[in-house]
Amino acid sequence: MDNLSFADLLIKLHNLKYFATSKFDYDLDDEHILLSQSLSNSAISGLIGKEVIAKSKSIFFDGLKKCEVYFETTETLTNLEIYLSDSKGNIVFSSKISSKLMKFVWDGIDNLGKKVSAGEYFFTIYNPENHKEIYNCVIYIIGRIKKMIFSKQGVFFNINNIIVPYDSVKEIRI
C-alpha cells in the first residue's frame, strides 16, 4: 500500500468517526465497517514505531538524544535566526541559520552551555534584518510514532511525545 492510498484510507477512517472506545455509528454501511476493521487490524498497528516527518511548532527533548528538525520557507533568505523557548516562553537557545530548506539538530544545550531539562520546546524563526517572525515557514520534526489516538477531533499521532494531527505528517519512512 503506498503512502497516498494510506492517507486516503486514514481520511475515510476519520470520516467514519472512529472513537477511542472502538465504537462506530450504527448507520455505517458494510464497506465502511470492513475498511475500518482492516485499518485497525493491519495498517494502523504497522505504523507504530515507523519514522515520520511531520509539521510541528515544538519538539520534545528527552534529556538525552539530539532532536532533528527540518524547516522550509517559501522564499530564500540568507540570514535567519532560530529561537527555542521553554513552556514558560523563556528563550533557551538561539542560532543563526540560512537556506530555503534546512536540517537543524539540537543537542539540548542552551545558550549558556548547559543541558536543558527534558520537556517540550517551541520554535520561532526570525528574520534579523527586520526583527520580525517569519510566518511563511514550515517546521518539521522527525521521530517515531509511539501511538495513535482516535478522537472526535480526528486521528492523531504521538511522535516523540508531541501530539500531531495525521494530516500534518509529510512522510512516513518505510
Q: Is 55 left (phi over 0), alpha (psi -120 to 50) or beta?
A: beta
Residue 23 has pLDDT above 50, yes or no: no
Q: Supply angle C-alpha 57, 109, 64, rounded to 5.
A: 80
Residues paired with residue 103 on neighbouring β-strands, in sequence order: 70
Mean pLDDT over 87-93 rounds to 92
Q: What is the pLDDT of residue 104?
A: 82
Residue 81: strand pairing partners: 96, 126
Q: What is the mean pLDDT of residues 24-28?
A: 40
Q: Which residue blocks in the chain are alpha helix, DSSP H?
A: 3-15, 30-38, 44-47
pLDDT of residue 28 exceeding 90, the answer is no
Q: E strands, 67-136, where?
A: 67-73, 80-85, 91-97, 101-106, 119-127, 132-133
Between residues 17 and 55, the one the model is more confident about:
55
- The fold for domain 50-174 equals Immunoglobulin-like (2.60.40)
Q: Where do the structural domains in the chain lie, given as residue ranges?
A: 1-47, 50-174
Q: Scanning the structure block, which residue is given the C-alpha cell 538525552?
A: 64
Cβ atoms 143, 48 nearer than 8 A: no
Distance CA 89, CA 61 (A): 16
What are 118-150's pLDDT values in tens digits?
999 998 888 777 777 765 678 888 888 888 888
Residue 161 in this model has a pLDDT that exceeds 50: yes
The C-alpha cell of 90 is what? Answer: 523563556
> What is the pTM for the complete model shown?
0.64
Does the pLDDT value for residue 54 go beyond 70? yes
pLDDT for 17 beyond 50: no
Q: Average per-residue pLDDT in the chain? A: 76
The pLDDT of 64-88, averaged and rounded, is 82
Report the candidate in 91, 101, 6 with the shortest Cα–Cα distance to residue 44.
6
No. of helices (H) and no. of strands (E), the chain: 3, 12
